[in-house]
Amino acid sequence: MSAGFQCKKFYVAHDQCAMKVGTDGLLLGAFAPLPQPGRPILDIGTGSGLISLMLAQRSCGANAIDAIELDNTAALQAATNIANSPWPTAVQLIKGDILTYQSNKRYSLIVSNPPFFQQALPATDARRHQARHTDSLPFARLLEKAKALLVEEGVFAVVLPLVSAEIFCALAQQQGWFVSRYCAVKATPNKPILRALLCLRLQPSTKTEYQLIITAADGSYSQDYKALLKDFYLKF
């Protein structure tokens, strides 16, 4: 078996992906609000397919999920992961660039763990650079594309580092988005905010803000973190 990550109900090989399975993707896959059964979902930059498979598990395959990936090698691995999962017909892998993606379909949920490095030194590996740096998917273009593909009452959910999240939210506001949920993620209670989990809407909504602590003061995983990921982590 190739290198990868074992969840309770599925396995994700990621040795051919520039970005491996990590906490960001796991958090977003568990955090994103599911639409009603039958409503379609779009996963932008699916990588290994992790988030799509988490959403397929949570919805019991009741929502058709389109998973788009720009990188050829990652797309092939994601397709294999999907085919080997319990939900091979729920997730459709689309090899392509979201910025040129054309579809008449409108989605009730769009999720993305997007590239976030801006004006940083380029990664030495071209595929890793593409996966991590915003020159391959600028925030403003991502927001524009999501807006075009989302139903009016839909949700766009993303995970980003704090500074990138602040930039993203400012751009989103300029384009008419509203932040409806903002979850600040900390590694421990005394550490600075590590990541922000965001839900954006096109309709005005009350903003709900809260924190998620990954590790409690005694070094154990927090009850909130375990509750969020208990259906996926083998250790919980």
Q: What is the pLDDT of residues 178-234, one digit of tens each?
A: 999 999 999 999 999 999 999 999 999 999 999 999 999 899 999 999 999 999 999
Cβ proximity of 31 and 180 under 8 Å: no
40 phi and psi angles, rounded to 5 deg: -75, 155
CA distances from 10 to 68, 84, 121, 198 (A): 20, 8, 36, 26
Q: What is the mean pLDDT of residues 53-81?
A: 97
CB atoms within 10 A of CB 139: 21
Mean pLDDT of the chain: 92
50, 55, 58, 61 alpha-carbon torsion, rounded to 10°: -110
Q: Residue 136: its pLDDT value, please?
A: 63
Q: How confident is the model at residue 115 (pLDDT cuts 50, 70, 90)?
A: confident
At 91, list the tokens.
Answer: 């997730």
Is the pLDDT reported for residue 27 higher than 50? Answer: yes
Q: What is the pLDDT of residues 158-186, one digit of tens each?
A: 999 999 999 999 999 999 999 999 999 99
CA distance 110 to 150: 7
Cβ proximity of 206 and 181 under 8 Å: no
pTM summary value: 0.91
Q: What is the mean pLDDT of residues 132-137?
A: 55
At 125, list the tokens.
Answer: 């590996």
Q: How confident is the model at residue 116 (pLDDT cuts 50, 70, 90)?
A: low
Q: Residue 2: its pLDDT value, please?
A: 57
